[in-house]
Structure formats: C-alpha cells, structure tokens
C-alpha cells in the first residue's frame, strides 16, 4: 500500500491528511444538518412567540391604558423583531452567503437585547400595577403582563441559544475551509 502511494508521487502523510479533511467534511455536514434542523425549529418558535406577543398586546392595550410596557409599545416592536429573526433563521440558515449569516447573527443579537428590555418593561409594569383585589378586570391584565413577560424571557433564552448554535456552525465552517486552504496551498 505504501509503495503504491509512493510510486504515484504522493506521500503517505498527504494521503492521511486528505482523509482527515474528508472526515472533517463529513463531520461538518452532520453538524450542519443537526444544527440547521434545530435552528429552524427554534426559528419557528420565535415566529410564534412574536405573533403571540403582538396578538396578546392588543387586549392589554384596550383594557389597561396605564401599563408601562404597552405605553412604550413593547408587545409590538419585540414581536416584530422576533418574527423577523425567526423568519431569517427558517429561510436562509443553509445559505453559503457569509453576509446573510452575519445578518442572522446581528438580528438575534438585537432580539436578545429586545427580549431583555421587554422583560424589564413588563417587570416595571407589574410593579406599577395597583394592588391586587378581587376584581377580575385587574387580574386579567396582570395575568397577561406576566404571560408576556414569560414569553420575552423565553425569547431571550431561544435567541441566546440560536446565537450560540449559529456561532458554533460558523466556527466549524471556518475551521474546515481554513484546513482546506492550508492543504491546497501545500500542494
């Protein structure tokens, strides 16, 4: 076996290096498949959270006009950010365009910040609500605010996971392309 490689002018070390690169490529394709599938599921979840934020923000707007989070529009602008971020992940996660992948990263960084601001605004809204009484019309908005605050916290976790998985995917792609460049420059 060694003589046949040497007779072709290829050293055994370079053949092993080629096999290592092929193994890295197979591993990367498995990682890409798993991560892209998980990212799409998380993207769909983000879209749903955004829609729920916007839909449940409407009754909160009409029932209680003094809710701080509604006054500054938290249900709507966070919902829009979540929908855009989730749509980008679902639509273009498998693209080879580096700029589009950077857009996904940027939008999820903004979603993380928006979710933190949303949680803080809903927390302030809960703090500013009048003392709880037996009146249902005060409990309903309280439940809605707590629900929307929980969704913002969930979005924060999801966006952070998407950022981590997306960075992992980008690092793996960068490492494999870097090792392919090193191999082609040697031969």
184 pLDDT tier (thresholds 50, 70, 90): low
In a domain, 8, yes or no: no
Query: Taking CA 146 as the corner, what is the angle to CA 113 and CA 151, rounded to the nearest 5 degrees?
Result: 45
- Domain of residue 151, residue span: 45-180
Q: How far apart are CA 107 and CA 163, in angstroms?
A: 10
pTM: 0.72
In a domain, 150, yes or no: yes
In a domain, 145, yes or no: yes
In a domain, 138, yes or no: yes
Per-residue pLDDT at 21: 47
In a domain, 14, yes or no: no
Our count of domains for the chain comes to 1
In a domain, 97, yes or no: yes
Write out pLDDT tens, residues 34-82.
667 888 888 899 999 999 999 988 888 777 667 888 888 899 999 999 9
In a domain, 29, yes or no: no
In a domain, 113, yes or no: yes
User: Hey, CA dihedral for 122, 82, 147, 156, is it positive or negative?
Assistant: negative
């Amino acid at each position: 076996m060694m003589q046949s490689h040497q007779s072709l002018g290829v050293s055994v070390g370079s053949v092993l290096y080629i096999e290592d690169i092929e193994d890295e490529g197979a591993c990367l394709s498995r990682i890409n498949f798993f991560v892209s599938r998980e990212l799409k599921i998380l993207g769909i979840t983000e879209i749903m959270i955004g829609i729920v934020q916007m839909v449940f923000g409407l009754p909160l707007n009409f029932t209680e006009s003094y809710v701080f989070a509604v006054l500054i529009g938290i249900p709507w602008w966070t919902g829009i950010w979540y929908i855009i971020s989730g749509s980008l992940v679902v639509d273009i996660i498998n693209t080879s365009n580096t700029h589009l992948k950077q857009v996904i990263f940027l939008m999820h960084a903004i979603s993380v910040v928006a979710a933190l601001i949303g949680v803080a605004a809903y927390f302030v809204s809960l703090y500013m609500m009048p003392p709880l009484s037996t009146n249902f019309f005060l409990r309903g908005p309280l439940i809605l605010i707590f629900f929307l605050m929980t969704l913002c916290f969930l979005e924060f976790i999801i966006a952070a996971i998407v950022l981590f998985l997306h960075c992992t995917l980008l690092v793996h792609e960068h490492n494999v392309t870097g090792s392919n460049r090193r191999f082609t420059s040697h031969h």
